[in-house]
Amino acid sequence: MTIAGQSVRRPRDPWIVFISLLIFALAGLVLVPVASVLMRSFHSDGASDTGNFAQFFASRYFVRCLTNTFIIGIGSMLASLVVAVPMALLLTRYAVRGAATFRTVVTIGMLSPAFLGAFCWILLFGDAGVALQPLRDLGLAVPSIYGPGGIILVSTLHSFPMVFLIVSAALTRIDPALEEAAASLGRPPTAVFFTVSLPLLMPAILTGGMLVFLGAISDWGTAMLIGQGERFPVLATVAYSTFVNEIGTEGGLAAVTSTILLLISVTVAGGQLVILRRLTVTTDQPQPIVRRQLTPLTGAIAQGAAYSLMLLTCLSLLTISILAFLEVRGAVIYPALSLGNFQRVAHDLRTSIWNSILFSGIAFAIVVVLGSMIGYLSARRKDGTMWIADALVMLPYFLPGTVFGIGLVYSFGGPPFLLTGTAAIIVLAYVVRRLPYMVRTSASIVAQIDGSLEEASLSLGYPPLRTFGKVMVPLMAPGILAGALLVWLEIFNELSASIVLYTARTVTLPIMTYQYAMTFENGPAAALGFVQTALTLAVFALLYRLGGQERLTAN
C-alpha cells in the first residue's frame, strides 16, 4: 500500500496469534479429555473392542440407569415448560399485580444450587421430614420426596425460572397486533395461542427445553441425594460411582457410561440446533405491549399461582436460612436459636471457604477477561479459524460435569502432567466449563455495537489491542457484567465436575455442604449451605450494583 509515493506497512493482526494459541489450548483442555473418555470406553482387556458397550447393554442395571436418565430429563423438561410458558404468557400479556416481584424473586431463587434445594426438600419431605410427619399424622397420604418424582420436582423448581425468562423475552419481541388480529377474527384465546403465539415462541421453547433436559440429566448432586444413589440410579451418578470403583484398574464401564451420557447431550443439543436452523420465524418491530385486564376472580387466581411459585422457588433459601440458626441434634430440630451449627463446622468451613474463594476467584478473573476477548472476536470475525475456536469454546457447555471431570482425570492424571488432586485441575475445570457463558453474553452485546467505532479508532493509528481496550471494553461493559453475574453463580456453586477432582486439600464449600447433607448431618449442612448462599448473593449483589452504576454512567 502506498500513500503519496511512500510505502505504508500494514500493521500485523495480533488477534491471529491469540486465536491460534486459543485453539491450541482448547484442543488440549476440551478435545483431549473427550477423546480420552471415548478411547477408554473402547478399551478392555488390553485390546480395543466394543466389549464394554456389550457389557453395558447386556446388564439390566445399566439399561435401567439409561431409562431413568431419560425419565428425569424428559420429565423435568416437560414440567418446566408446563409451568414456565403459561406464567410467561400470563405475566407478559395480562395485568397481574406482583408481576415485577415475581420476576425478581424467581431470579433470586435461581441463585441457590439445585443440590441445596434437594437437601431442603429432604428436610421437609424426607422419610423423617419436619413437614411430612405432621401431614401424615393428619391422615394425608403424602409421599416422601425420594425417587423420580422428587428429582423432577427439584429440577423443575430450579429450572423453570430460566425457561420463564427466555420465553418472556421472546414474548416481548412478538408484535401483539398479530394476536389481536387473530382474536378479531373470532378465534378464542386458546386458538390464538396455538395458531399464532406458539409457532413464534417455538425457538425460545426449544432452547429452554434443551437447557432443562441437559441440566437435569447431568445434575449429579440432586440425583445422588433424592435418588439415594442405588435406589434410583441415573447415568451421572453411576458414571461417578463406577469411576471410583475402577480407580487403580484398567476399567472401562465408567468410560462407557460417560460416553453414552455425552452422546445423549451432544445429540440433543445438535438436534435442537438443526431444528432451529430449519425453523424460520420473523416478526416486525413490535409495538408497545398493552397488558389486558383480568376479571377479579381470574386476577386473584393468577396472583395466587404467582405467589405460590415464588414461595416454592425460594423455599430452599428460606429453609436453609432458618435451619442454620436452630439447634439440631441428628434428625431432630429444636425451636431454639443457636450458633452451634456454625461452631461444629468451623474448621471445615475455614478450609473449604478459603479454597472456594481462591479457586473461584482465579477462575472467575480468567473467564471474565478471556471470555470478553473471545466474545468480541466471535461477533466480529467470521473466518474459519475463529469458527473453530468458537466451536471449541462452546463444546464444554454441552458436556455433563461428571463426564468432563472424569475426562480430565484420564487425560492429566498421569505423567507428564500429574494434575489430579491439585488446585490447578479444579481451576481448569471451572474455566473451561464456564467460559461459554461469558463468550455468549459478550458476543451478544458486541453484535449491537456499530463496527464503525472500531474502524475510526484504527484509522487514527490505534493498534487493534488498544482499540479493544479503550473503545470496545467500555461499550461492552453492560454485557461483560451480565456475563460475570452468571459466571460467578455457576463457578462458586460448581459440584458435578469438582466432586471427581477434589482431594482433602482441595475440598470446596459446595463439596463440603454435600458431604454433610449426604451423611444426614442436617445442622452443619444447613450452616454450610447458608454461608455458600450468602457468599453467592453478596458477590452477585456487588456485581449487580456495579452493573447498575455502569448503566447510569452510560446514560
367 and 317, same domain (yes or no): no
Specify burial of residue 236 (Cβ count, 10 A radius: 0-12, 13-18, 19+). buried
Domain identity same for 270 and 171: yes
Read off the DSSP letter of residue 292. Answer: B
Q: What is the CATH number of the domain that holds 296?
A: 1.10.3720.10
One domain for residues 460 and 529:
yes
What burial class does residue 55 get, using C-beta atoms within 10 Å of its C-beta: 0-12 exposed, 13-18 middle, 19+ buried?
middle
Beta bridge partners of 333: 328
Question: 197-231: buried (b, 16+ CB within 10 Å) or exposed (e) per residue?
Answer: beebbebbbbbbbbbbbbbbbbbbbbbbbbbbeee
- Which of the residue ranges 193-207, 484-498, 504-518 would you say has the lowest mean pLDDT? 193-207
Q: What is the pLDDT of residues 272-318, one digit of tens each?
A: 878 877 765 555 545 566 677 778 888 888 888 888 888 888 888 88
In a domain, 48, yes or no: no
Q: What are the tens digits of pLDDT across the range 190-249?
A: 777 777 777 888 888 888 899 899 999 998 889 999 988 778 999 999 999 888 887 656
User: How does 130-142 read in b/e, with b if 16+ C-beta sit within 10 Å?
Assistant: bebeeeeeeeeee
- Same domain, residue pair 202 and 311: yes
pLDDT at position 551 over 50 = no
Least trusted range by pLDDT, from 110-114, 400-404, 534-538? 110-114
- Domain closes at, from 269, 295, 323: 323
Indicate whether 232 and 375 sit together in one domain. Answer: no
| Pair 176, 318 in one domain | yes
Residue 84 counted as domain residue: yes
54 domain residue, yes or no: no
CA distance 209 to 215: 10
Last residue within a domain, chosen from 292, 323, 354: 323
Mean pLDDT of the chain: 83
Single residue among 323, 349, 364 that ends a domain in this structure:
323
Q: What digits encode the pLDDT tens for the residues 73-90?
A: 999 999 999 999 999 888
Mark whether 238 and 364 lie in a shared domain. no
d(CA 508, CA 62): 31
Percent of the chain with pLDDT over 90: 26
Cis (ω within 30 of 0) for the bond into 436?
no
Are 318 and 344 contained in the same domain?
no
300 and 448, same domain (yes or no): no
Which residues constitute the domain of residue 414? Answer: 14-34+340-555
Q: Are strands 47-48 and 43-44 parallel, antiparallel or unpaired?
A: antiparallel
Asked if residue 121 is part of any domain, the answer here is yes
331: confidence class by pLDDT, cuts 50, 70, 90? low
Is residue 142 assigned to a domain?
A: yes
Largest Cα–Cα distance of the chain, in whole Å? 97
Sequential DSSP letters for 320-337: HHHHTTEEEETTEEEEEE
- Hey, how many other C-beta atoms are within 10 angstroms of the C-beta on 349? 20
With 0-12 / 13-18 / 19 or more C-beta atoms within 10 angstroms meaning exposed / middle / buried, residue 180 is middle
Helix (H, G, I), strand (E, B) or coil at 43: strand
**Is residue 47, in this structure, part of any structural domain at all?**
no
Torsion angle in degrees (nearest 10) through CA of 248, 253, 254, 258: 150
Compute how many other C-beta atoms are within 10 angstroms of the C-beta atom of residue 418.
11
Judge whether 202 and 119 are in contact, CB under 8 Å. Answer: no
Per the domain annotation, does 6 fall within a domain?
Answer: no
Q: Are residues 305 and 376 in the same domain?
A: no
Provide the domain count of the chain.
2
Residue 248, classified by CB atoms within 10 Å of its CB into exposed (0-12), middle (13-18) or buried (19+), is exposed
Whole-number Å distance between alpha carbons of 251 and 330 = 38
Give me the pLDDT at residue 362, please: 95
SS3 7: strand
pLDDT of 540 reads 79
Q: Is residue 494 part of a domain?
A: yes
Residues 124 and 247 in one domain: yes
Is the domain of 385 the same as that of 483?
yes
Write down the pLDDT at residue 489.
86
Span 418-448, pLDDT tens digits = 888 899 999 999 999 999 988 888 888 887 7
pLDDT number for residue 156: 93
pLDDT of 8 > 50? The answer is no
